[in-house]
Amino acid sequence: MLIRKPAAIRNLQNHLRHFSLAALAEPATIPPPLEYLPGFPKPDPKYSETIHAIPRVKSGKNISAKERKAGRVPSIVFEQEDGQHGGNKRLISVQTNQIKKLVTQMGRSHFLSRLYDLEVRPEFESDEVIEKVRVLPRLLHLHSGTDAVLNVTFIRAPSSALLKVDVPLVFRGEDVSPGLKKGAYLNIIKRTVKYLCPPDVIPPYIDVDLSESDVGQKLSMGDLKVHPALKLVQPENEPVFKIMGARVSDQRKSK
């Protein structure tokens, strides 16, 4: 006796068979991971460090105060895949001494432009790792009077994400700049520039070469040399620096 399958099941099987054949005919290609290119700054391995964290169940002003008193920094990890929105947050606490050391060693802007591995454990002394994830520090809140670390916001940094990063600028060549040798002065307008970055090639900083800059010259954001995968978020024509003529006070002193 021939038993016919319901139409819904036949349609599902046909759909799956078609999907399987299409997958075989056109295998999915995974793009190769992005890499730092020669001539561009790479993260210094000297500052590679795993940030240790523990889960935090509650939030609030009193809870945060207790965490800080215990030597911990109340923190948040945003889990959204695209790296831009504040969905699916996870409450954690990190060690005050560790964050303070990293910020002191690198400076605030450099700390915020570097990826870290984050290990979440039940307790800091535990050998059990609940989760290990790569993160980018997104926000760092310091006390205005003491520079004590008050809280840190991290964001997940999978290779597939695009992250907005304020990349710090490092100015070089001031000692040989023709304009500065003539008595002009360097007017730095931007010390960081915002880019949309694939996590695998976030620059630790951007070199700004002043060695050929003369009086009256300037450099705009669009002129900065960066990895081609980076996308400038700010207007290209916004100036980064200008070589200005000697100050009036300086001219009077030279007379």
Domain residue extents for the chain? 45-160, 164-247
Under 8 Å between Cβ of 168 and 174: no
Average pLDDT over residues 107-136: 95
pLDDT digits (tens, 9 = 90+) for 192-241: 999 999 999 999 999 999 999 999 999 999 999 999 999 999 999 999 99
- Percentage of residues of the chain with pLDDT beyond 90: 71
Q: Do the two domains 45-160 and 164-247 of this chain adopt the same fold?
A: no
Task: Considering only the C-alpha atoms of the chain, give the largest distance between any 2 of them, rounded to a whole number of Å.
Answer: 114
Report yes or no on whether pTM surpasses 0.85: no
Question: pLDDT tens digits, residue range 75-103?
Answer: 999 975 454 555 678 999 999 999 999 99
Q: Which CATH class is domain 45-160?
A: mainly beta
pLDDT digits (tens, 9 = 90+) for 26-36: 445 556 779 99
pLDDT at residue 47 tops 50: yes
Average pLDDT value for the chain: 85
Distance CA 193, CA 223 (A): 12
Q: What backbone torsions phi and psi does residue 81 show, to the nearest 5 degrees?
A: -60, -40
pLDDT computed for residue 160 by the predictor: 87
Quote the distance between the C-alpha of residue 20 and its chain's center. 39
Dihedral angle of Cα 13, 14, 16, 22, to the nearest 10 degrees: 160
Which CATH class, in words, describes the domain spanning 164-247?
Answer: mainly beta
